Amino acid sequence: MKWRSALLLLSLVIIVIFSFILRKKLFSPSDNTGLVTEWHAPDTSLLSSTPEGQLILYGRQLISNTSKFLGPKGTVAAITNGMNCQNCHLDAGSKAFGNCFSAVAANYPQFRSRSGIVESIEFRVNDCLQRSLNGKTIDSSSKEMQAMVAYLKWIGKDVPKKTKPKGSSNDIPYLQRAADSAKGQVVYVSKCERCHGKRGEGILKADLTGYIYPPLWGDSSYNISAGLYRLSRFAGYVKYNMPFDKASNPSLQLSNDEAWDVAAFVNSQPRPVKFFEHDWPDIKMKAVDYPLGPFADTFSVQQHKYGPFEPIEKARQAIAKK
Ligand code: HEC
Ligand code: HEC
């Protein structure tokens, strides 16, 4: 009898240990890049059929299928270039390292140097509408803005205030040299062109309501005031997420050099010119890779666009210490 209960106890202990290991395996979150992440978006299937839940789901649709509602043939208004928010905020902003929205609810309203003001979520959404989607703003009181904001608040609801989970940004190390657009063109032709097209024009859906593969430059792409026009934003996003073949992309496919060089190539191609004269009211705060002058330092426009960025950053730190 005694050894029986001992055996029972032993097997119980083994089961507990195993289930712990298994749980760890199943729940140690890791995305398709093999990068360990700490954040997972809440489950949309848990959204009940309440009006609030419906609003959040509409917000999600607007973000994943923006063009259907707000594109050139949009059912709500024709105010954007045909791209979707999701083209850059992958899986409707739920994919870590894919410009995800994990840190939005926890950090907005927040001060941003580009505008020089404390921005609301609505302000930030309108920023991407005007720049990344090269379009027009929508009113804060519109159902569409309320839906997107409800979604953004919901998706980040479990993140503690003023914290940023790993994967909320996608920075990669600077190159020690300037990014090289000629080398970048070689990368583009071998690793990007098959989806994004010979002239970066992307591929439209047959019914013209949006893109299968979004454009990277030209009239229908983001404009020169968009985040992706900064080399670091482009290189980081592309390093973690492109080429976009989910099944065959178990690990990162671009080296850091390739990511920076292809960023230089794409951002040296023509795209819509829209300049916001009130951006960066304090020019000392301009991001090192923001390529539009005037600058508070003596580095060239060329270096602010293509790097190397480390000398610019070091010079700034030296001034700040004085
Ligand atoms: C062409 C790419 C692109 C598209 C399309 C785009 N965005 Fe963005 N968005 C970015 C980038 C890049 C950033 C980060 C910029 C930075 O770090 O300065 C960003 C930042 C944001 C942020 C702030 C995130 C944070 O953590 O602070 C929000 C909110 C946002 N976008 C919403 C949207 C919405 C809503 C849409 C569609 C209406 C949209 N974006 C479309 C590229 C894009
Ligand atoms: C297998 C097809 C494929 C390949 C190859 C590919 N992409 Fe993409 N790319 C996509 C798709 C699809 C999206 C939009 C993702 C979404 O909406 O979920 C995208 C989005 C993007 C975006 C953000 C949206 C935009 O249009 O500005 C950038 C930037 C980008 N890709 C750059 C690249 C670069 C650079 C390469 C080569 C290193 C590359 N891609 C290779 C399919 C691809």
Q: What is the CATH number of the domain that holds 189?
A: 1.10.760.10
192 and 129 share a domain?
no
Q: Is there a single domain that holds both residue 60 and residue 146?
A: yes
pLDDT of residue 139: 98
Q: Give the end of a domain, one of 91, 121, 155.
A: 155
Which segments of the chain are extended strands (E)? 110-112, 117-119, 203-204, 211-213
Instruction: Judge whether 237 and 170 are in contact, CB under 8 Å.
Output: yes
User: Is the omega angle on the peptide bond into residue 243 within 30 degrees of 0, that is, cis?
Assistant: yes
Classify residue 188: in a domain, yes or no: yes
Mutational test site, ligand 2, from 87, 181, 265, max ligand atoms within 8 Å of CB? 87
Q: Place 27 in a pLDDT band, splitting at 50, 70 and 90.
A: very low
The C-alpha atoms of residue 199 and residue 225 are separated, in whole angstroms, by: 21
Ligand 1 centre to CA of 89 (Å) is 7
CB of 196 shorter than 6 A to ligand 2:
yes
Say whether both 317 and 186 belong to one domain.
yes
Q: Which ligand is nearest to the CA of 168?
A: 1
Residues with CB under 6 A from ligand 1: 63, 66, 83, 85, 87-89, 99, 103-104, 124-125, 128-129, 132-133, 148, 152, 168, 222, 226-228, 233
CB-CB contact of 30 with 37 (8 Å) = yes
Asked if the structure places residue 232 within a domain, the reply is yes
**319 alpha carbon – ligand 1 mean position (Å):** 31
Closest CA to 131 of 195, 72, 88: 88
Helices 231-241 and 256-266 meet at what angle, rounded to 10?
Answer: 130
Quick one: 136 and 191 in the same domain? no
The verdict on residue 166 lying in a domain is no
Provide the pLDDT for residue 166. Answer: 93
| pLDDT at residue 80, as a whole number | 98
Taking the CA of residue 245 as reference, the ligand 2 atom at the shortest distance is 1
Q: Return the structure tokens found at 216.
A: 């990277």
Position 78 in a domain: yes
Q: Identify the top-confidence range among 207-216, 223-232, 290-299.
A: 223-232
pTM of the predicted protein model: 0.90
Residues 251-278: pLDDT tens digits? 678 999 999 999 999 999 999 999 999 9
136 Cβ below 6 A of ligand 2: no
Residue 209 has a pLDDT of 87
Verify that 198 and 306 share a domain, yes or no.
yes
Res 146: pLDDT: 98
Say how far apart CA 10 and CA 8 lie, in whole Å: 5
Of all ligands present, the nearest one to the C-alpha of 197 is: 2
188 and 282 inside one domain:
yes
Q: Which domain holds residue 62?
A: 44-155
Q: Is the pLDDT of residue 282 over 60?
A: yes
- Say whether both 116 and 58 belong to one domain: yes
**Residue 53: inside a domain:** yes
* pLDDT for residue 15 is more than 50: yes
How long, in residues, is the chain? 322
**Which pLDDT value is given to residue 316?**
87
Cβ–ligand 2 contact at 245 (below 6 Å)? yes
54 with 126, same domain: the answer is: yes
Asked, for residue 171, whether it belongs to a domain, the answer is no
Same domain, 185 and 300: yes
- Structural domains of the chain, count: 2
Q: Classify residue 170: in a domain, yes or no.
A: no
Q: Is any ligand 2 atom within 6 A of the Cβ of residue 79? A: no
* β-strand pairing of 211-213 with 203-204: antiparallel
Question: Ligand 2, closest atom to CA 188?
Answer: 37
The pLDDT, as a whole number, for residue 248 is: 54
Q: What are phi and psi of 111, to 5 degrees?
A: -75, 135
CA distance 20 to 85: 38
Q: What angle do CA 47, 48, 53 make, to 5 degrees?
A: 65
Identify the residue whose C-alpha is closest to ligand 1 atom 35: 125
Question: Do 93 and 185 belong to one domain?
Answer: no
Q: For position 145, what pLDDT does the model report?
A: 98
Predicted pLDDT at 188 = 98
d(CA 140, CA 185): 41
Q: Whose CA is nearest to atom 27 of ligand 1?
A: 104
Which helix (H) or strand (E) segment is 193 a member of?
helix 193-196
Domain co-membership, 150 together with 201: no
Mode of pairing for the β-strands spanning 117-119 and 203-204? unpaired
Which ligand has its closest atom nearest to the C-alpha of 210?
Answer: 2
- Would 203 be classed as within a structural domain? yes
More confident residue, 187 or 32: 187
| Residue ID of nearest Cα to ligand 2 atom 4 | 243
Beta pairing partners, 112 = 117
- Average pLDDT over all residues of the chain: 90
Do 194 and 146 belong together in one domain? Answer: no
pLDDT attached to residue 204? 94
For 17, phi then psi, to 5°, come to -60, -45
Q: What are the strands, taking DSSP E only, across 110-159?
A: 110-112, 117-119
Question: Do residues 292 and 210 make contact, with C-beta atoms less than 8 angstroms apart?
Answer: no
| Substitution candidate for ligand 1 out of 63, 89, 196, 220 with most atoms within 8 A of CB | 89
- The pick from 69, 85, 229 for probing ligand 1's pocket by mutation, whose C-beta has the most ligand atoms within 8 angstroms, reads 85
> CA nearest 305: which of 195, 207, 224, 194?
224
Percent of the residues in the chain that have a pLDDT greater than 90, as a whole number: 80
Residues 146, 156: Cα–Cα separation, whole Å:
16
